Structure 1
């Protein structure tokens, strides 16, 4: 009987889930050549090619696609046994801060993946405003934060660039009125940006309400009393993108940035950061994950 190399299977799964050999090596704390050698040994033991090159990309071969299902199960079962039998699994807490409007869809999916990898680590998720999140990170209240900003500070990294979309009540008409009624909380990073754009375009505006509560803003906009801008694709169910036909100015893009990864003190925080990178990378590529990978490694 031949036995599969579980370490090689783990590297294979990491390549499939992170998008390439380089990222997998970083996640596993191995060199790129070590991961490549493990894949070579895996292919030799099976007498099959599990990865193929397509130009500058790496794809799973048909055999690799089939193997991935089994490999994930074997790695997960191994980790479950080690945790239950040795009680040496990762434990503790990780604090993640995220702006209210980008919790979905990426962050929620990432938290599910993280729980699978680190079932005994508690993620404390806090939704707040970008300015408050950055202040909290400085005070040590968070391990990682995501932000929505026009630019990025030197200690941060940009995960995604997203279009801002005018949003209002479904079938609403308040966007036609002047002065334009705006609905933003006092701390929203988009509020001064929108005001600046409207002033530049000569469009009169006024705030429909003054509040710190995003829930209040959602109620005002849902009642067709105001409009706002949100990152495209994050509109709440009771709101819709406004088809204004040019009556409202085009808005610039917003950056989704991550801070704290460069100062990560643990493998757990680094793993969460890598899952966030991968999540936004998949979102930019239309949700495409394996079998098509992004780098040749």
Structure 2
């Protein structure tokens, strides 16, 4: 029995996510001809076509559709094993600062996964306001800050950019009054501006 090479599966998923062999080639850093050869090799291993002509490009065959879920699971387990082996050796401490907005949703699951794959790393979590966390980061008191800003500083990376919106029901009080009373956090809060 032949095995499914993780590199071939990565290339296959790059095609699935990009929608073309050219985009897959760009995503994995190989030439289009190398991507075609990898897909042909994967089809040989599977024993049936995974891609079929569709218009000017290619689409997935039923076997290709079936392979997508398996490929994602195989690569996830592959990554999990690698992190468990490599992460188990990593040690030390990491201090993370975040606002309450991020501390409540998403971050607990990420920290739990990190702790499982890096059991010797001590995680310190500090929840606060963006301004104080930015100061703590500059002072070296925390290693990473997940905060909200109007725009990133030169030494920061923007992960998500969303516009601020005011929302109201069509029948709400805000549509019937010139001045709307607001409940806001005390200064300094970027939302107050």
Q: TM-score, structure 1 length as denominator?
A: 0.42
CA distance in 2, matches of 1:143, 1:23: 33
User: Highest Rg: 1 or 2?
Assistant: 2
Q: How many residues align?
A: 177
Map of 1:279 onto structure 2: none
* 1:119-138 alignment, distance < 5 Å: 119-121=116-118, 124-138=124-138
- Residues 179 and 13 of structure 1: is their aligned pair in 2 closer, same or farther, counting only changes over 3 Å? closer
Map of 2:86 onto structure 1: 89
Deviations 1:127-149 (A, max 9, x none): 32221222222233444333322
Bigger share in strand: 1
CA distance in 2, matches of 1:139, 1:124: 16
Structure 1 residue runs without a partner (length 5+): 26-31, 194-297
Q: CA deviation at 1:76?
A: 4.2
Q: CA deviation at 1:166?
A: 3.8
CA distance in 2, matches of 1:54, 1:6: 29
Q: Match of 1:97, SS?
A: strand
Bigger RCO of structures 1 and 2 (CA < 8 A, at least 6 apart) = 1
Q: TM-score, structure 2 length as denominator?
A: 0.58
The answer as to 2:6 corresponding to 1:6 is yes
Deviations 1:206-242 (A, max 9, x none): xxxxxxxxxxxxxxxxxxxxxxxxxxxxxxxxxxxxx
CA distance in 1, matches of 2:56, 2:126: 42
Q: CA deviation at 1:125?
A: 4.5
Q: CA deviation at 1:95?
A: 4.3
What RMSD over aligned residues (CA atoms) do the two structures have, in Å?
A: 4.7
Structure 2 residue runs without a partner (length 5+): none
